[in-house]
């Protein structure tokens, strides 16, 4: 039993899909979320820059007294997870391994597709983790750069998004995959469009859901879950103006964000 908060960071708002799932599954846990909105998007930066940013974010959250760190960002999980694990004694959970493991379990024809940002796909991180588990699996990565701006524009259920999805996803459908990993924290909001385009025969893997399963197992294993009956605290920090984070973020979370504090990091 440990009532310290869970720390979650992302380069921006995408990680809120993971946070939303924490709220749903681990209702008693307090959380501290950091969105590095002054330096978003990480996906177009060099590995060296992403590692530096992620260390700074980690330090901020550790100073908040967290018991477990969630890297709710595919780019950072791909590039910098091991380096962060080495630095910390607490559990550190990224979003790639849980999604990769779930995909390996789900596939029946041994053909897995992974969609994400250019940085995530070009890093090859999902393919590496999946093939470490089972070298006989075929993995097809596909960057879908327009999905993030479409989600942030609120077009999660628009004909335009369906057309973009058809244009992109044809390339993984043609590979005969039976499992598709949504390898970007924004994509759970497109699950219905992606599901329609891919059809019933393809299983979609939602990294947010898989990541929170792993957080839960880790807390139970360490007897570190929070059973306190008080209201959990839910803190939000951003590194640039909170206005946009609040309006777009509330759509991601499906609930109001009461207070957000702007902090300076890495200046």
Nearest to 186 by CA among 202, 157, 203, 208: 208
Q: Are 109 and 45 in contact (CB under 8 A)?
A: no
How many residues of this chain interact with a second copy, rule: CB under 8 A? 24
- Is residue 51 within the footprint of a second copy (CB under 8 A)? no
Q: Computed over its alpha carbons, how large is the radius of gyration of the chain? A: 18
Site for a second copy in 205-264 (CB under 8 A): 240-241, 244
Task: Tell me the two tokens of residue 128.
Answer: 């590496």
Please state, as a whole number, how many other Cβ atoms lie within 10 Å of the Cβ of residue 85: 16
Give the nearest distance from C-beta 143 to a second copy in angstroms: 10
Active site residue 144: no
Q: Distance (Å, rounded) from C-alpha 75 to C-alpha 80? A: 8
Residues 10-29 that bind a second copy (CB under 8 A): none
What are the DSSP calls for 1-25, one per residue? ---PPEEEEESSSTTHHHHHHHHHH
- Spatial contact of 81 and 153, defined as CB atoms under 8 Å apart: no
Between 49 and 233, CB nearer to a second copy:
49
Smallest gap from residue 154 Cβ to a second copy (A): 10
Residue 76 interacting with a second copy (CB under 8 A): no
Q: How far is the CB of 53 from a second copy (least distance, A)?
A: 10
User: From the candidates 81, 119, 150, 184, which is the catalytic residue?
Assistant: 184
Catalytic residue among 6, 66, 73, 212: 73
Strand partners, 6: 31, 68
Identify which of residues 5 and 143 has a Cβ nearer to a second copy in the complex. Answer: 143
Bridge partners for 68 per DSSP: 6
Q: How many CB atoms lie within 10 A of CB 53?
A: 26
The binder of a second copy chosen from 44, 220, 228, 263 (CB under 8 A): 44
Complex with a second copy: residue 83 or 160, whichever CB lies closer: 160
Q: Please state at what angle helix 207-221 crosses helix 96-106, rounded to 10 degrees.
A: 110
184 in catalytic set: yes
Separation CA 231–CA 211 (nearest Å): 23
Least distance from a second copy to the Cβ atom of residue 41, Å: 8
Residue 123 as a binder of a second copy (CB under 8 A): the answer is no
Give, as ranges, the residues between 153 and 172 that touch a second copy (CB under 8 A): 153, 159-160, 163-164, 167
Rounded least distance, CB 172 to a second copy, Å:
17
Indicate whether 133 belongs to the interface with a second copy (CB under 8 A).
no
State how far the Cα of 106 lies from the Cα of 14, in Å rounded to an integer: 24
Among 3, 142, 145, 195, binds a second copy (CB under 8 A): 145
Binding interface with a second copy (CB under 8 A): 37-40, 44-46, 49, 118, 145-146, 148-150, 152-153, 159-160, 163-164, 167, 240-241, 244
Task: Name the residues annotated as catalytic.
Answer: 73, 184
């Amino acid at each position: 039993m440990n009532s310290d908060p869970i720390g979650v960071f992302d380069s921006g708002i995408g990680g809120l899909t993971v946070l939303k799932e924490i709220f749903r599954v681990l209702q008693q846990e307090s959380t501290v979320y950091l969105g590095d909105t002054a330096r978003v998007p990480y996906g177009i930066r060099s590995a060296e820059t992403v590692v530096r940013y992620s260390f700074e974010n980690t330090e901020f959250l550790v100073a908040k007294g967290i018991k477990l760190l969630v890297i709710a960002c595919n780019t950072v999980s791909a590039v910098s997870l091991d380096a962060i694990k080495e630095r910390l004694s607490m559990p550190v959970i990224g979003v790639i391994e849980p999604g990769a493991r779930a995909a390996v379990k789900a596939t029946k024809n041994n053909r897995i597709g992974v969609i994400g940002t250019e940085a995530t796909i070009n890093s090859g991180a999902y393919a590496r983790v999946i093939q470490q588990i089972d070298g006989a699996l075929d993995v097809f990565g596909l960057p879908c750069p327009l999905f993030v701006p479409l989600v942030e524009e609120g077009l999660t259920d628009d004909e335009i998004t369906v057309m973009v999805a058809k244009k992109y996803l044809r390339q993984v459908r043609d590979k005969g995959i039976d499992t598709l990993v949504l390898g970007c924290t924004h994509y759970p909001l497109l699950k219905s469009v992606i599901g329609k385009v891919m059809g019933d025969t393809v299983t979609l893997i939602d990294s947010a859901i898989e990541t929170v399963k792993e957080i839960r197992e880790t807390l139970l294993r360490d007897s570190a879950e929070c059973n306190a009956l008080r209201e959990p605290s839910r803190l939000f920090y951003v590194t640039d103006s909170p206005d946009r984070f609040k309006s777009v973020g509330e759509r991601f979370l499906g609930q109001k964000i009461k207070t957000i504090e702007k902090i300076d990091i890495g200046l």
